């Protein structure tokens, strides 16, 4: 939690309950601070899993033994770049066979076309019947169909031959390569040849509780509006440092996980320098601004049955035990008070365990406390024991 230090310096008038409390006839001197409304910048952290914007499993389209590795693990690749080479011998043979079949079918079409042309001339001279001509024309159509079939087989064979060079479908970084030269690759293999991760931008997946999401929805409207008005978020890396580039929440799941009561969310972070890697972990830091709140030291509070109380100084210098509501996160030193106090209230800051509701005190300022402290040190040095420990 981050608290405006200028507020603490400018608005707190601190002093400690002095030894005057030992005198029955004198109200004890007590440190107080004056409440001034401020704006507190706080943050919530949510554990996150980092993934590439696009993680593509690379699988072969044809079976065969791997004969070439064009890249290594961790290599940056471009779309269309060769990754693996599969033995092309049988697929090249299939292309040659399909090409020969096309040539044969084309020759059959040419021969039949000549026959049809000849019979049409004969039919015109009524040397052959219409029936004979029709038979020849049908045989020509059959030859053309056989040619088309052979051409389709050639296209398929060429495609399978091209598949023997496995290429990257996108820009990214190559992941683990479990298959090496000599290994048998197949489309039906359980494991992919590798994974190419597009890490130009990274997704950070995290979860927010149903209660937290409800608070955002109540204040900002529907989910679409919530996302639009959400501030930029930061990413805390595994070493505790904050990632240089801020991110933006893009999606909020429409379903609440019944087992955890959490809602899945996704933030997008740019990754131009390639610092983030797919599969990493971190924390999404969610900034939050609290307006018109008050900051009090934790030493100024008393806890009774999980409720927080402070002693507010009245106009007659008596104190009233007052319940306060605090923000659910704190830095271990201060509480952010959201309810229970108002502008100008004076709150006893220290040794509140010695106070009781309605008790009279003598509020003192920071300057007065410092003067009393310095005078006590002087009295001790000069041997004025009686006044040094008043």
90 and 108 belong to one structural domain: yes
**How far does the chain reach from its first CA to its final CA, in angstroms?**
38
Query: In this structure, what CATH number is given to the domain that contains residue 68?
Result: 2.40.50.100
Burial of 126 (0-12, 13-18, 19+ CB in 10 A): exposed
144 and 100 belong to one structural domain: yes
255 and 285 belong to one structural domain: yes
DSSP notation for 51-90 = EEEEEEEE--SS-EEEEEE---TT-EE-TT-EEEEE--HH
Choose one of 194, 229, 251: the last residue of a domain: 194
Q: How many CB atoms lie within 10 A of CB 71?
A: 18
104 and 142 belong to one structural domain: yes
| Mean pLDDT calculated for residue range 29-44 | 87
105 and 189 belong to one structural domain: yes
Percent share of the chain, pLDDT over 90: 55
Which residue, 387, 359, 201, 204, is CA-closest to 284? 204
Identify which has the larger pLDDT, 193 or 261: 193
Tally of structural domains, the chain: 3
pLDDT band (50, 70, 90) for residue 258: confident
Phi-psi region of 351 (alpha: psi -120 to 50; beta: other; left: phi over 0): left
Query: In this structure, what CATH number is given to the domain that contains residue 325?
Result: 2.40.420.20
pLDDT for the residue 222:
67
For residue 324, is pLDDT > 80? yes
pLDDT for the residue 21:
42
SS3 279: coil
Cα distances (Å, whole numbers) of residue 390 to 348, 352, 376: 20, 19, 8
Angle at 295 between CA 290 and CA 299, to 5 degrees: 145
Q: How many CB atoms lie within 10 A of CB 339?
A: 10
For residue 104, is pLDDT > 90? yes
210 and 314 belong to one structural domain: no
pLDDT band (50, 70, 90) for residue 7: very low
pLDDT for the residue 144:
96
Choose one of 164, 194, 224: the last residue of a domain: 194
Q: What is the pTM of this model?
A: 0.57
For residue 2, is pLDDT > 50? no
Choose one of 289, 320, 345: the last residue of a domain: 289
74 and 101 belong to one structural domain: yes
pLDDT for the residue 390:
57
Please report where in the chains the tokens 């605090």 appear, as a residue. 326
26 and 151 belong to one structural domain: no
pLDDT for 109-158, tens place per residue? 999 999 999 999 999 999 999 999 999 999 999 999 999 999 999 999 99
70 and 172 belong to one structural domain: yes
pLDDT for 226-243, tens place per residue? 788 788 899 999 998 999
pLDDT for 340-371, tens place per residue? 999 999 999 888 888 999 999 988 876 777 77
245 and 302 belong to one structural domain: no
Host domain of residue 268:
45-54+197-289
186 and 64 belong to one structural domain: yes
173 and 95 belong to one structural domain: yes
pLDDT for the residue 4:
45
Query: In this structure, what CATH number is given to the domain that contains residue 221?
Result: 2.40.30.170
The token duo for 144 is 């053309």
């Amino acid at each position: 939690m981050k608290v405006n230090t200028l507020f603490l310096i400018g608005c707190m008038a601190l002093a400690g309950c002095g030894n005057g409390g030992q005198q029955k006839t004198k109200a004890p001197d007590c440190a107080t601070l004056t409440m001034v409304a401020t704006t507190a910048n706080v943050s919530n952290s949510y554990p996150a899993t980092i993934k590439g914007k696009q993680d593509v499993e690379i699988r072969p389209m044809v079976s065969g033994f791997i004969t070439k590795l064009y890249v290594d693990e961790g290599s940056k690749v471009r779309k269309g770049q060769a990754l693996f080479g599969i033995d092309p011998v049988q697929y090249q043979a299939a292309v040659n066979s399909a090409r020969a079949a096309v040539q044969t079918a084309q020759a059959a079409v040419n021969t039949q076309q000549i026959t049809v042309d000849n019979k049409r001339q004969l039919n015109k001279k009524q040397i052959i019947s219409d029936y004979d001509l029709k038979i020849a024309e049908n045989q020509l159509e059959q030859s053309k169909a056989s040619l088309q079939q052979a051409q389709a087989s050639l296209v398929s064979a060429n495609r399978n031959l091209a598949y023997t060079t496995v290429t990257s479908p996108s820009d990214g970084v190559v992941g683990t390569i479990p298959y090496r030269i000599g290994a048998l690759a197949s489309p039906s293999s359980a494991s992919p040849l590798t994974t190419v991760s597009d890490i130009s931008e990274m997704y950070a997946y995290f979860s927010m509780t149903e209660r937290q999401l409800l608070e955002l929805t109540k204040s900002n409207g529907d989910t679409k509006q919530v996302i639009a008005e959400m501030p930029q978020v930061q990413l805390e890396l595994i070493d505790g440092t904050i990632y240089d580039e801020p991110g933006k929440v893009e999606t909020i799941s429409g379903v609440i996980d019944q087992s955890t009561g959490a809602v899945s969310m996704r933030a997008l972070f740019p990754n131009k320098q390639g610092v983030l890697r797919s599969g990493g972990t971190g924390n999404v830091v969610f900034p939050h601004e609290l307006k018109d709140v008050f900051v009090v030291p934790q030493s100024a509070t008393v806890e009774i049955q999980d409720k927080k109380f402070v002693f507010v100084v009245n106009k007659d210098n008596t104190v009233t035990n007052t319940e306060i509501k605090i923000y659910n996160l704190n830095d271990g030193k201060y509480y952010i008070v959201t309810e229970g106090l108002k502008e100008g209230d004076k709150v006893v800051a220290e040794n509140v365990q010695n106070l009781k509701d309605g008790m009279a005190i003598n509020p003192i300022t920071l300057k007065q406390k410092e003067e009393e402290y310095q005078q006590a040190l002087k009295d001790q040095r000069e041997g004025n024991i009686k006044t040094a420990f008043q």
